[in-house]
Amino acid sequence: MSAPKDNQFWKMRSSHGRKPIFSDPDQLWEAAQEYFEWVDKHPLKAAEIIKYRGTGKLKRVPKMRAMTLTGLRIFLDITHPTWLDYAKKDGFSTVTDAIKDIIYTQKFEGAAADLLNPNIIARDLGLQDKQAQEISGPGGGPIKWTGGPENPKTIKEWEEQVKEADNAQGASHE
């Protein structure tokens, strides 16, 4: 049976939307600490061949699990916009900043010790080595073109100038 047409039952609700999970910053901090402990107690498992005296055995080896804000939000059962809302709430920003710093440090130190993939973590943390290469002339000005076509107006003119330059270079090498 469907609701009556033009019903207004929704107005009778005592509140709209889910109540905040964390009413104060300490509750959020405690929940984040539970996530940190969970990450430590639940490492990833990798299959590795352990060699000893000419024989090998396949063993499951614990690997460091990287903490992530996404993992934390899943653990806390909150969405990204909800996390951002908490970060804006009075008194919560100190806690959300501390949580972000702990997650950043865990990933950075894990990558530095080669416990986490340094390339993946560097990209995640925005630490890529970016080197822009710019070619310019003296003082950052335009490059002066020498030994080639001089301001050709058409492709045919350009081809003729290239031919002349090739002939001049060929004559000098003979």
Helix ranges (H only) for 7-68 are 25-41
pLDDT at 166 > cutoff 70: yes
Provide the CATH topology of domain 22-124: Topoisomerase I; Chain A, domain 4 (1.10.132)
CB 67 within 8 A of CB 35: yes
pLDDT, tens only, 121-134: 888 888 766 666 66
Q: In the chain, which residues fall in CATH 1.10.132.80?
A: 22-124
Mean pLDDT lowest for which of 7-16, 87-96, 157-166? 7-16
User: How confident is the prediction for the chain on average, in pLDDT?
Assistant: 82
The candidate with the shortest Cα–Cα distance to 63, out of 108, 116, 122, is 116
The top-scoring range by mean pLDDT among 8-22, 39-53, 65-79, 112-126 is 65-79
pLDDT (average), residues 103-119: 90
The pLDDT of residue 25 is: 95
pLDDT, tens only, 142-163: 766 665 556 767 778 878 877 8
The candidate with the shortest Cα–Cα distance to 109, out of 127, 92, 95, is 127
> Residue 106: what residue type?
Q
**Whether the model pTM is above 0.85:** no
pLDDT, tens only, 66-91: 999 999 999 999 999 999 999 999 89
Alpha carbons within 13 A on the beta-carbon side of 87: 14
Q: Could you tell me which residues come within 8 angstroms of residue 59 by beta carbon, excluding any fewer than 6 positions away?
A: 47, 48, 49, 50
